[in-house]
Each structure stands twice: as C-alpha cells, then as structure tokens.
Structure 1
Amino acid sequence: MLRDLLDSIRDMRKHYRLYVNFGLLYLILFGILFIPILSYVINRVFLSVEGGVLLNLDVFKILLQPRAMGSALGLLLLSTLFLFVLMGTYLILSQKKIFQKDILVTEAFMTAIRAIPRLFRFEALYLLLLLFLIFPLLEFPANPIVRRFLDVPPALVRNLDSFRFGTVLYMAALVLMIYFLIRWMFAFHEVFFERRSIRASLKSSAMLTRGIRGRLLLRLLLVNAVLLGLFFLFFYLMARIPQLLNLPVNYIVRNYYITFTGLSLFIYLMILLPVNLLYLTRVYYREQRKLGLDVSDKITTVKWHWLMRKEEALRHNLKNKRIAFTFLFLLSLLISFTLSYSVNDGFLYAGRKILVAAHRADAMNAPENSLSAIESALNLGAAVIEMDVQMTKDGVLVLHHDTSLLRMAGVPESVADFTYDGLMDLEIGSRFQEDFTGEKIPTLKEALQAVKGQGEVLLDVKVSEKRGEVAVKILEELEENGMKEFSYIQSFEYSFLREIRALDEDIRLGQILYAAFGRLNQLDVDFYTVQMNMLSQNLVKRAHDAERGIFVWVVKTEEDMKNALQYDIDGVITSNVALVTEMLGTETLKEKLTEVETPQ
C-alpha cells in the first residue's frame, strides 16, 4: 500500500497542472454560481424561521417549518451535486492517468455529470447522514461562508449530556458510520468506472475492502493528518507574526485573513483530493486483481466535441503555460475571494441600523464617566454615550457608577454622602493613568453639553431614594440643555421609570433586565436592555411585537458582537467602542468632519 501511495504522489507531481487547472476552474464556477446560490438559500432558510436566527439545538427546529425544509433540501441538493461532480471528475482523471491514457478536463467533467443520476438513490442518504454526524465536531471556522450563518459550537455535543447516554450513543453512531464509510470506500469507483447502480456499487465495495479496512483507514488518516497539520501550522504561524512584532491588526484585516485562510484551505484540498483519489484508485484495481476480476478501462467518456475543441484550442494558444497557470490561479482566487468576503462580511452587517452606545463612555481609553471618556467615545464613532447618573447630598446630578467612590477616587463614601463642592475636591484620573491626573467627576449638565450636537445620551440612573426629586431634576436638565429629544433613560428600578413616565409621556425609557418572568409587554417602557445571556429569538420577537426595542449589554469582544448580531437587535452597549464601530463600518467623528469640510 505504501508503494501505491508513493506512486500516487508521483502521478500528482507529473500531472498536477491538469488537476489544479480543473480545481481552479471549478473554484471559479463555485465562486460565480454556487456562492450566490448558497447565500440565497441560506437566507431563505433563516427568513423562514421565527426571529430569523437559529442557535444551538434550536437549529433542528428548522425541520418543523415547511418553507425552511424546502430551502434546506435545496441547499443539500446543491451541495451534494457539487461534491459528486467534483469527485467524479477527479476519479475519471485519475483512472485515465493510471491507464496512461490522455483525457481532456471537459471530457472527464461531462462523463461525471452523466453518472450523477445513478448516485441520487435512497442509499446515497447514508453519505448525508454521515455529514450530519460529523458536523457538530467542527469547532473551527474552516468554511468562513457557512460559519457566518450556522455557528456550531461544542455546546451542541455537550448538550447531548442532557439525554441519558446521549454522548455514548452519538459516538457509537459516529463510529458505525465511519466503519461503513471505509466499507463503501470504492462505491464511487464502481459508479463511475463500472457504471453500476449505487446499490450494486455498495455491495462490490464491501467485497473489495474486506481485510484491508483497518490499514486503509489508518494510512489515509496519517497521511492527511500530516499534510493538513502542516497547512494549519503555516497559517497559525502567519497569524502569530503581528503579535510577535507588536503590530496592530484591526477587525477588517482579521476578517480578510479568515476569508483568505478558508479559500487557501479550499485550494489546498483541491491538491489533496487528487492524491487521495489516485491512491484509492490504485488500491481499488489492486484488490480487483487479487480477486481475479477483469482490470481494464471500461469508461466510455462523453465527448462534447465543440467544448473539447475549445479546450484544445485554449491549450494550444497558450504559449507560456506557466504564465497562464499563474493567471488562472490569481483570477480564480480574486473572484472567489471577493465574492466570499462580500458574503462573509456583508451578509451579516449590511443594512443593519444598530445604535452603538459607549458603556460609561470610552472607559478603555479614559476614566469611565469622565468628560475625556465622552470625547474619546464620540471621536470613535459612538452614536450614543451611556452614562451613569447619581445625585449628591445637595441635589446635583453627577456621573458615577459604583455605590462608593473607592474604586475611582479612593474614598469609601458614596456620591450621596458628598456635597457637590466636596466631590470636586476628589479626582478620578490618576488611578486610571497619570496623563488624566486631575480629572474630576463631571456633572450631568457638563456631560450633556459635551454630547450636544454630536450624539445622543443613554442615562443609566442609579437611585435608591428621592426617586421623585431625581426624576424631576433629570427632566429639567434635559429640557434646559435641549437634549430631551436625544436622550434615553434606563434603570433597574421600574418604580423610578414610572416616576419619569408620570412626568413625561414622550421620553424614551428602558428597563434593564438580567432575569425576567411574566408579561414584559405590560411594562410601560420603550425598550429593554438585556444581558447577552438573556438574548433569545423569542425575547426579541416578543419585544418587537410589543413595539419595544432591544439593547444588549455589555458587548466586550468580537465574539460577543457576532453573537449579538445574530438577532434583530436595535442597539448595543459596548465597552469596546473602537471594535464595534469598526465591525459595523460606522464613521468616526473625524471622518464625518472631513467629509463636511471637503469641497465638492
């Protein structure tokens, strides 16, 4: 068997242009035809379900929706057709090379298409079942396109623990399916080479693999593990270079890199696949000889003479084949990369009108709830500045989050224990960074004036007593500073929100939730601010049916943002303004001003 493998590698080196040229041509067709169709079908699938999103075990609820079932079957049919034609063409090319016969790519391609009807039988469902069993084990984004729509975390496997012996049964089924995969390894050879039905091909394959299944599986696994391991090691080291050199890498570059890695893997598999099929074809004919079967070339190829003449003319006219090969490679990469990235990035974010609220202003680059943090958040493109409001002993509204001043100012008392003048004796900047030494706790009035004309404010009111007084003062401040129409008010305390509503029916109010039971639509608010772990399609749907908005807090990482964007949310409260605005393509204040100042 080792000799068969080495001979297959030598064949690949000798005829690699033929295989790679076909792979690249197929990649172009994949990029131009299959990706848009795939995107459309996936879009139909998700639009056919309530809420437009599926997560974890909810994915299987799609099978209960008739429209979704039709879309899913269409997607499955296209994917299967793509795989069968690809494998069939490679098998026919490898068979002809083993028999040392010339064949055109178009000839092999049309012959593979001719055999497709024999593959679409009931027995072929086995292959689809195998894919479903393997699917939950894929915990890395090998396919950046599908990964955007179907996020399959390891939780899918972990949730099997909720069923008695769930994981054991799952693994047993997976092992059984792998056994049958090896048992029926030569089924495609029989279909394409001998023109047998799928049922007869499965029986013949079982006979040919008897006694060699273990060795065959082991050698295939070892060879492919080494080759794929080298591939992933290369891209892992490439991804580590910016970190080792302390080079900043933004979200867009990372997203392009993920797309490029996925496409590179696709091209790499276009090389690995012929090697595997050449090897399996040699083993197939060797086992036939052992059984005394007739080993000869029985394939009658489909000759579409017009197409064959075009291919031959193209080969003849290309004087410098190396340049042509390079051009074809770059063209296929460019087309597929462009289309893949447009699907990869645009499909999730395009057209999304999502408010970006800076949590405690830009607390990553300046002291939280400070004027410096507000200025920084606005410069980064935040549309809304979320700020925490408390009242001093003498009735002045200021910005501060904690129940005490210990973390920010180094004293254990609360804001309510100080008068405004006493509070001004403290500073909150030096504990963050020496450059901010002397930074004071701002008043709500100062904060509103800093934001006015540049964005909106989301006031997170911290109040335990004097609710009525705080409510009156907040509305007065908003009215006096012309910010009432550009403000949102939220609180954990619904009783406080009722105080605000009694004074003003038009102000936008939000209830902060970290747990909820009962009928939320009975709350007289305009939006819910929910923690990430509370997000569900049911909650979002109920909120929108009741004409309530959904804000999510606190988005900290890229993964948080991607998870949040799977839902039809209205806003995010983020501690990483730069990341979120970059992901959403939000213009920074500097860019907006530049556009205004640039003469037309």
Structure 2
Amino acid sequence: MWEVILIAKIGAKMMYHVFLKMPSKSVTFMVLMKVAFSLLTVPLIALLLGSLFSFTGRKMIFDWSFLSLAESFPGLVIVLTVAFLWLLGFSFEQSGLVKFSAAALKEREERVRSVLARILRILPRLLGLASFKAGIFLLCILPALRILPVLQRAFSRGLPVGMYPSVVTGPFGWMAAIMSLMIMIRLLVSWIFAIHYAVLDRKTFAGALRASTSLVNGNRKKVLLSMLAFWAPSLLLIIGNSFVFRITRDVVIRSSYDPTSMNILKLSIFASAETMTTTAVSIGISIFYSILTTRLFFALKEGEALHSQTLLRKDAVADRPVVIRRPWLLPLLIILVIQGVFFGYLGRFLVVSEIELPLVTAHRGSSFKAPENSLSAVRIAIEDGADIIEIDVQMTRDGVLVLNHDRSLSKVASVGERVHTLTYADIAEFDIGSRFSNEFAGERVPTLAEVIQYMTGIPPSVKLNIELKDYGYSPEISRATIELVKEMGFESRVVITSTSIERLTTVRELAPDIPIGLVVGYLTSLVWSVDVDFYSVSTTILNDRFIQRARSMGRDVHVWTVNNTDTMSRYSSMGVASIITDRPDVLSKLLLRQAEMSIFQLRVLSILMT
C-alpha cells in the first residue's frame, strides 16, 4: 500500500508540473490531431453507419441496447470499425506524445512537423496495432458487456444478481465475463509499451507487442502500481468533471424558462464551457499518461530512473503562455469549440415546437419489482403510476390465451417446452415467482381473461397493451384475442401490437375501432405501408426523423425499452407518445418534474442530453 501512496505522491507532483508548464508543442499536436481526426473520421463513420443503418435499421444510442449491434454481422462490422478508428486515433495521439515525452526526458527539442512526418512513416505499424487490438479487445470485452445490463437491472431493483439466469447471464456467462476481463487487463498491461517500441525503436507491430510483453513480464508489479497511481486520480477527475456539469446543466436549464436572447446565450456559453473543459481534461490526461509511460519505459529498459525534474525543459520560453508561443493555437481551439457547440447546440436552441409529455407504459408490468407478465407485475405497475400495461400473450395447445414473452417458459420457470405445445392445465402448474424472488413464490402464469378481469376493477384511464407473441405457431390468436376482449366488454381500454403484419391485419378486419401498433425492431419499406395507428419502436432505431415521418402520417410513436433516466428525459423531450419501461415508478416521477418545465426547457434538455 505504501508503494502505491508513494507513486501517487510522485505522480501528483508530476501532474502539478505538467499542468503548470505543459509543453506547448504537445498541446499544439493534440489539438491538431483532434481537429484532423474529427474532420476525417466523423464523416467516414457517418457514411458507413448511414449505409449500414439503412440495411439493418439500427441507430447507436447511449443505452444498453447498443449491445445487440454485435449480434449480427453488419453490427459487428460497425463495432469493429468504430473500435478500430478510436484505437487508430489513440495510437496517432500517443505516438506523437511519446516522441515529445522522450525528447523532453532526454532534454532534446522536437518540432511538430517532424513528429507528424515520423508518424506518417510508421503508419503501417500504427494501422497494424490499431486493427489487431480492436479485434482482440472486442472479443475480450463482449462477454463482460453482456453482463452489465443484468447488473444494472439487479442493482436498480435491489435484488440478487442471479434473477432470470440464461446461457449468457448464468454461471457460464459469469465465468466467461470474468475470464474475458482478466485476459483484457492482462493484455492491456502487457502491451502498454507497444507504441513506444514502434515509435522509438522502429519495431513492426508484432515485434512491438512481443517486446512490450517481454519488458512488462519482468517488471509487472512496478507497472501495475504505476498504472494504479495514474488511473485512480484520473478516473476521479473524469467522474468529477462529468458530475459537476451534470449538476450545473440542471441548474442552467431550471433557470432558463423562456427562449429569450439571454437564456440562449447562457445555454450556449454553458455548452461551450462543457466542451472546452472536457477537451482540456482529456488532453491533459493524455499528455500526462504519455509522459508517465515514457518515463517508465526508459527506466525499465535502461535500468535507470529518470528524475521528474527533467520532464520539462526549464528555459525562458517555457515560462511563456502556450497561446503566445503558438499564436495560431487559439484559432484552432475556437474551431474545435465551434465544431462541438455551434452546429450541435446553438442552432437547435431556436427550435421551439409543441411537446406533449408521453404516457407511461409498464413493460410486462412493473418487471423490475415483480416477475414479468404476472398479475403481481400488473398490480404493482398500476401502483407505480403506469398509464398503460404492456403484456405478451400466447396461445396454449388447447386454445387458452396466457401471458409469456419467450417461446418457452425456461426464463421464468425453468421449463424448456414451448407454450404452444403445452395445455393450460400443464402451464397452470408452473411457479414463475420463485426464480425472481421468494416473495413471489407460488405465482402462476396468468391468463389474459384474468388480467382483464382484474383491470375492470381499476380506473378506466389505465389501458392494456396486448402484444400478440405467437411466433407464428398460433394463426388463430388474433381472432381469439378479439373475441375475448369483446366478450368481456373491454374494447375501449385495449390496444393491440405485434411484429406480425398478418396478425394486425386480422385484428383490423375483426375490430376496426381497436387501435393497433406495429412493433418495429428493424426498418424495412413495409413499415410505412402497413395500416396501423402507431409504431412501437426499439431505441436502437428511433430518431427525430422517424418521429417526424410517423407524425406526418398521423401515427404516434411508442419507444421500448427505456430504463435509464437520462434516456427517459431525452425521449420525453423528443415528443414520443409513450415510453415503455420496466421502471414505471421512476418514469412517473420524472414526468411529474418535467410537467413543470416549459417547452423551451424541454427542448434544451433534449439537445443537451443527446
């Protein structure tokens, strides 16, 4: 422990000197790299994603649903490409910073032009490093990423992590995630000096990886302690920066009720400050990281410690401000700010349109608090303030409509048989509550009739969203559902959704007055030609353009499944008719707060949360 504290103290002292006398050429180089890469890679990524999204109908968002991208070949190409471009940019930046750091440590002078020329000469090595690392790290991180939504779900409802295990989230999934994380951490540490060998010793990318691994193997403890001493305060700085701007954003939005010139100016200044501060933090951390690793590289390779006072040359010029030594650096910074602020924020602040807050749809009931598609989940969802209860309905072998999402009951009751192969008498014996929590032990699979009967005793303002989930095995499910709804006099309180156009067409013919919605998980030309009243759209494809087109056709948009509060805020400000969530209590409280906000504040919230 004392070694970590000692290294941390040395690191803090070095950090102090670095930020007081940050090498002007390093800052110039970093700004140039960020501007160049934003100009070159952003259009490239947009072009690639646009072409792939037009085929897959997917859209990257800040939610756990982005993990589904890697489950298809086009999505895997997207993830690999973005990872490759990010690692390539990181390799470019670190290559230049390593050159500057090595020169500073040896008290030599490096020019930006010569460093750029050097990077271009070793471009094949950097491409090799970036592509190889992108592939390896992606394979390592995917099993761990599949576990994260389960952790978030479990911690949010305060229940044990092992609820509803599957192949991915069961014992095999946890072992795979732990093993993949251990392998990735091992590789990250082993390859920490790969760029140094590629840049300073002119090794090929394979030779650089081997040399770095060899160097680290004999000094693993020292490398780990140095990285711990660096990343602990760095992560605290990043988290602190994000937290401060998150709190400030709420204060700024709350104090800007109307779209006055002063409020627009204030919000623009806030967006500029956030962009500039975040960029400055990232540049500072990158420079310090390169200096620390380069110093460690020479110390381990040459067997001698380089003193921290040689990190920066102490001459008269170094005491002058960076902008004075590089007068053209200021215009570059202004360009960087304009890129991140003017086109992303300022122009959109002036867009004011009527925004209605969405309805709260409980996904399979309140499925964070009770077993999904159970009577308990329906009851708790109503207590949580849901406007609509969404349930999944299937038909048993003997024609009874029951609630269940998957083809089989393995998720909720450890029963592998498919619903359409079982009779209702068989299904009625299964316990779907014990696997969720002992509190719900003995909970049974409800029938649609039981759910409707329960809802007849609650206020008629709460409606039922019946999703027909027969997976093509029960052609009569549409007719059976409509007959039951009519028999129980519940037509005015239901909407019916499905991924099957055939099932929805049958519902339209049998009950033209019942609203129907197409569940959209990917885009095709058929989406817009179907006769429906609304769309129930995955977060992976929903954007402003989809909402605008749907509205132009007189159709509402519901979005699924949104459990993150930031994402809830963003979609509620986009004008969707309903947000489908596993956490109706959280969404209800959020919408109550937003009900006090003006249209302008909602629009600003949507922009800043994008």
3-state DSSP of counterpart to 2:122: helix
- Provide, for residues 501-560 of structure 1, a one-character-per-residue CA deviation record: whole Å limited to 9, x for no partner: xxxxxxxx9961388998223111598566xxx955169987645332324289997623
Paired residue for 1:92, among 79, 92, 99? 99
| Pairwise CA distance, 1:288 | 1.9
- Provide, for residues 401-429 of structure 1, a one-character-per-residue CA deviation record: whole Å limited to 9, x for no partner: x9789x8xxxxxxx9xxxxxxxxxxxxxx
Provide the residue aligned with 2:68 in structure 1. Answer: 58
- Provide, for residues 150-200 of structure 1, a one-character-per-residue CA deviation record: whole Å limited to 9, x for no partner: x99956999775344212211111111211221222111111111111222
Identity across the alignment (%): 16
Provide the residue aligned with 2:301 in structure 1. Answer: 288
3-state DSSP of counterpart to 2:217: coil
CA distance in 2, matches of 1:100, 1:226: 28
CA distance in 2, matches of 1:202, 1:209: 11
Single out whichever of 130-139 and 95-104 deviates more from structure 2.
130-139
| Pairwise CA distance, 1:111 | 0.8
Q: Provide structure 2 residue ranges, at least 5 long, that are not aligned to the other structure.
A: 1-5, 155-160, 259-263, 305-319, 361-386, 389-454, 465-480, 536-556, 581-587, 605-610
Provide the residue aligned with 2:226 in structure 1. Answer: 219
| Pairwise CA distance, 1:212 | 2.2
Provide the residue aligned with 2:543 in structure 1. Answer: none
CA distance in 2, matches of 1:342, 1:529: 39
3-state DSSP of counterpart to 2:43: helix
Matched residue type, 1:45: L
CA distance in 2, matches of 1:69, 1:181: 22
1:520 partnered with 2:508: no
| Pairwise CA distance, 1:583 | 8.7
Provide the residue aligned with 2:44 in structure 1. Answer: 37
Provide the residue aligned with 1:560 in structure 2. Answer: 568
CA distance in 2, matches of 1:97, 1:560: 48
Matched residue type, 1:559: T
Provide the residue aligned with 1:194 in structure 2. Answer: 201
1:537 partnered with 2:521: yes
Provide the residue aligned with 1:338 in structure 2. Answer: 342
Single out whichever of 276-285 and 18-27 deviates more from structure 2.
18-27
| Pairwise CA distance, 1:265 | 3.0
Q: Provide structure 1 residue ranges, at least 5 long, that are not aligned to the other structure.
A: 140-150, 292-315, 361-385, 388-401, 408-414, 416-458, 463-492, 500-508, 587-600
Answer yes or no: is the 8 Å Cα contact 1:118–1:198 preserved in 2. yes
Answer yes or no: is the 8 Å Cα contact 2:144–2:178 preserved in 1. no
3-state DSSP of counterpart to 1:120: helix
| Pairwise CA distance, 1:229 | 1.0
Matched residue type, 2:567: E
Q: Cα 1:190–1:546, aligned 2, differ >3 Å: closer, same or farther? A: same
Provide the residue aligned with 2:402 in structure 1. Answer: none
CA distance in 2, matches of 1:74, 1:164: 31
Answer yes or no: is the 8 Å Cα contact 2:497–2:504 preserved in 1. no
CA distance in 1, matches of 2:23, 2:531: 60
- Provide, for residues 357-397 of structure 1, a one-character-per-residue CA deviation record: whole Å limited to 9, x for no partner: 8769xxxxxxxxxxxxxxxxxxxxxxxxx99xxxxxxxxxx
Matched residue type, 1:120: L
Paired residue for 1:27, among 6, 28, 34? 34
3-state DSSP of counterpart to 2:495: strand
Answer yes or no: is the 8 Å Cα contact 1:41–1:72 preserved in 2. no
Answer yes or no: is the 8 Å Cα contact 1:561–1:580 preserved in 2. no
CA distance in 2, matches of 1:168, 1:35: 37
Correspondence list, 1:130-169, <5 A: 130-131=137-138, 133-134=140-141, 154=152, 161-169=168-176
Answer yes or no: is the 8 Å Cα contact 1:85–1:109 preserved in 2. no
| Pairwise CA distance, 1:57 | 4.7
CA distance in 2, matches of 1:160, 1:562: 33
Matched residue type, 1:200: G
Paired residue for 1:207, among 214, 237, 240? 214
Answer yes or no: is the 8 Å Cα contact 1:208–1:287 preserved in 2. yes
Q: Cα 1:43–1:511, aligned 2, differ >3 Å: closer, same or farther? A: farther
CA distance in 1, matches of 2:523, 2:204: 50
- Provide, for residues 266-316 of structure 1, a one-character-per-residue CA deviation record: whole Å limited to 9, x for no partner: 43121111211111112211222239xxxxxxxxxxxxxxxxxxxxxxxx9
Correspondence list, 1:218-237, <5 A: 218-237=225-244
- TM-score with structure 1 setting the length: 0.53
| Pairwise CA distance, 1:109 | 1.7
Paired residues, what number? 409
Answer yes or no: is the 8 Å Cα contact 1:31–1:339 preserved in 2. no
- TM-score with structure 2 setting the length: 0.52
Provide the residue aligned with 2:418 in structure 1. Answer: none
Q: Cα 1:7–1:497, aligned 2, differ >3 Å: closer, same or farther? A: closer
Correspondence list, 1:389-468, <5 A: none
Q: Cα 1:287–1:102, aligned 2, differ >3 Å: closer, same or farther? A: same
3-state DSSP of counterpart to 2:133: helix
Matched residue type, 2:283: M
The Cα RMSD (Å) is 5.6
| Pairwise CA distance, 1:323 | 6.8
- Provide, for residues 451-484 of structure 1, a one-character-per-residue CA deviation record: whole Å limited to 9, x for no partner: xxxxxxxx9999xxxxxxxxxxxxxxxxxxxxxx
3-state DSSP of counterpart to 1:552: strand
Higher radius of gyration, 1 or 2: 1
Answer yes or no: is the 8 Å Cα contact 2:498–2:519 preserved in 1. no
| Pairwise CA distance, 1:563 | 6.0
Answer yes or no: is the 8 Å Cα contact 2:125–2:198 preserved in 1. yes
| Pairwise CA distance, 1:243 | 6.5
Provide the residue aligned with 1:379 in structure 2. Answer: none
Answer yes or no: is the 8 Å Cα contact 2:190–2:216 preserved in 1. yes
CA distance in 1, matches of 2:354, 2:521: 17
Provide the residue aligned with 1:264 in structure 2. Answer: 277
3-state DSSP of counterpart to 1:165: helix
CA distance in 1, matches of 2:214, 2:270: 46
Provide the residue aligned with 1:18 in structure 2. Answer: 25
Matched residue type, 1:279: L
Matched residue type, 2:558: V
CA distance in 2, matches of 1:87, 1:25: 13
| Pairwise CA distance, 1:12 | 6.1
